[in-house]
Amino acid sequence: MASGRLRVAVIGAGAAGLCSARHILSRPLTFEPPVVLEMTEQVGGTWVYTEEVESGAHIHSSMYRDLSTNLPKEIMEFPDFAFDPSLPSFIHHSEVLKYLEDYTDRFSIRPHIKFNTRVVSVTPVLGEGKNSEVSWDVTSQTQDNGDPVTERFDAIMVCAGHYSHPFLPDIEGLEQFQGQVLHSKYYRYPEVFSFHSVVVLGAGPSGLDISLELSPHAKHVSLSHQGSPLQWTPPANLSFVPPVVRATHNSLICEDGTEIMADTLIFCTGYKYTYPFLLTGSNMMENQKIDQRDKMKRKNLDELIELESGKGFKKNEENPQVNETLTVKSVLPRVDLLEDEDIVGTNGEQGHLPPLYKHLFHARYPTLGFIGAVKFVIPFSLFHCQAQFFLSVLGGKFQLPPPEEMLSESREEVLKTQNSGIPLKYLHRLGKNYWEYMQGLADTAGFEPLAPVLCKIFQACWNFKNIEPTLYRRLNFKLLNREEYEMKGEVPLPFLNAFKKSLP
């Protein structure tokens, strides 16, 4: 690393970006204050609810009106900043946004955020002479029609999230379906689907929540999913059906041949990684061509791509920021930072981000970090640990393996996933490996690991949710110490007692 304090750019002021900035500010001897680049006008990222779903504007949030957390606040919070203890364990999304705003002010992060600023490109720069370290040119543009401005940084923390660009699976004949088609990203409230026959595709957290929320209003809801059968009894007008594989003009056909007469299809099929500022040159043009084909192919889904096109802002000849920064020419060629030429078919559109080491560092350019890229995790605690791990490496507390070794490990992980038959979009899903991963980060970097009680609460919630997803949000938890917790709930007592007995 270069001598003196390091300059770090943080892309995004959602929970991951705020946490990264907080930990940079806590190390003033090693780092200059962070520069946080946020494309919207406020902090919070996906937790900023909006009812705007019209075409022509970038809609970052995936919140719906009545969403409550599917994790209790006791394990959801940052380890160094608690939620209001008077709140129930499962809280409305507006309380999470307030929490993030309070976190921003508590750690004096707001003065370091450039709001309404879109990152145009991030380009690696090779140092001159004996200094062979890679630094970064970040070109950004303000929403008030400012000229592009390029600044140089020692490291980049990408905290742009992965819940804003919908993943849309191919369904044969969907273009002829005459009903309404949307992704859960654009779902806001159930009343507009009154008397609709709705098919919800996907039984992940959003699919379950939206199906249950629709059931009192819709004519009928069919929850279409693959994998093991669900083990709970649905409401009277909600049924479970196999995956939808084909569409006609007024029906949807499941893989077992079942035909569902429907007028609405809601994709609850998750999201894809899309970081356009890391895609440059011909790769970015090809990415745009793919999006254009999607627009032509999917009837009623054009807004799902169009809203995410990342159109630039108009040029303004007067921009006071230009004189405050240094415009430089990069030494390294402009490349697709999400590609690995040695692995066929790898790119962010497929749902993974090779070549990443430890799901965090760019294996070729390890001063580029992705905070929160992994899925099936507890997000805020993940950001807390990943940010500290990344900054510990930047600060020289310990060294990563050579880039060649990190690249090799990353490629082996990709090939192992491919050879096992698991889709590459699941490459960064930690799931049951989350706790081991987090412990490894803490042990290596030397910061306090997560309390074991958090894992116990998580497992209790997971078990309860699988048994009865309509009741688990009635549970309330109280942390007693790092090992123990207390659980109460406004659920039928026999059910609660039986559940407690089932716990290890």
For 144-160, the pLDDT digits (tens) are 777 899 999 999 999 99
pTM of the model as a whole? 0.86
What pLDDT, on the 0 to 100 scale, is given for residue 311? Answer: 31
Dihedral of CA atoms 42, 101, 112, 132 in degrees, nearest 10, equals -100
Task: Give the Cα separation of 373 and 160 in Å (integer).
Answer: 9
Alpha carbon of residue 159 to chain centroid = 9
> What is the 3-state secondary structure of 272-331?
CCCCHHHCCHHHHHHHHHHHHHHHHHCCCCHHHHHCCCCCCCCCCCCCHHHHHCCCCCCC
What pLDDT, on the 0 to 100 scale, is given for residue 486? Answer: 94
Task: Give the Cα separation of 291 and 165 in Å (integer).
Answer: 11
What pLDDT, on the 0 to 100 scale, is given for residue 310? Answer: 33
User: Phi first, then psi: what are they for 449, rounded to 5°?
Assistant: -75, 165
Helix, strand or coil for residue 136?
Answer: strand
Residue 109 contacts residue 93 (beta carbons within 8 Å): no
Q: pLDDT tens for the chain, 504 residues: list them.
A: 444 899 999 999 999 999 999 999 999 999 999 999 999 999 999 999 998 775 445 667 889 999 999 999 999 999 999 999 999 999 999 999 999 999 999 999 999 999 999 999 999 998 754 445 789 999 999 987 778 999 999 999 999 988 888 989 999 999 999 999 999 999 999 999 999 999 999 999 999 999 999 999 999 999 999 888 888 999 999 999 999 999 999 999 999 999 999 999 999 999 888 888 986 543 333 343 334 333 333 334 444 333 333 333 233 333 333 333 333 334 444 456 766 555 544 444 556 676 889 999 999 899 999 999 998 899 999 999 999 999 999 999 999 999 899 999 988 888 888 888 887 777 888 888 999 999 999 999 999 999 999 999 999 999 888 888 999 999 999 999 999 999 988 877 777 776 676 666
Distances (CA, A) of 308 to 16, 67, 166, 302, 339: 21, 23, 9, 10, 21
Give the class (CATH, top level) of 8-164+285-294+309-445. Answer: alpha beta
Which of 371, 500, 486, 504 lies closest to 72 in space, CA to CA? 486
Considering the domain 174-267, what is its CATH architecture? Answer: 3-Layer(bba) Sandwich (3.50)
According to DSSP, the residues that pair with 368 across neighbouring strands are 156
Place of tokens 């307030």: 98
Q: What is the pLDDT of residues 270-318, one digit of tens each?
A: 988 888 898 654 333 334 333 433 333 333 444 433 333 333 323 333 3
Quote the tokens at residue 223.
């929850």
Element (H, E) at 18: helix 15-25
What pLDDT, on the 0 to 100 scale, is given for residue 202? Answer: 95
Domain limits, the chain: 8-164+285-294+309-445, 174-267, 452-502
Task: Give the Cα separation of 300 and 182 in Å (integer).
Answer: 7
Dihedral of CA atoms 395, 398, 403, 405 in degrees, nearest 10, equals -160
DSSP secondary-structure letter at 192? G
Rounded to a whole number, what is the distance in angstroms from the first to the last CA of the chain?
A: 48
What pLDDT, on the 0 to 100 scale, is given for residue 245? Answer: 97
The residue count for the chain = 504
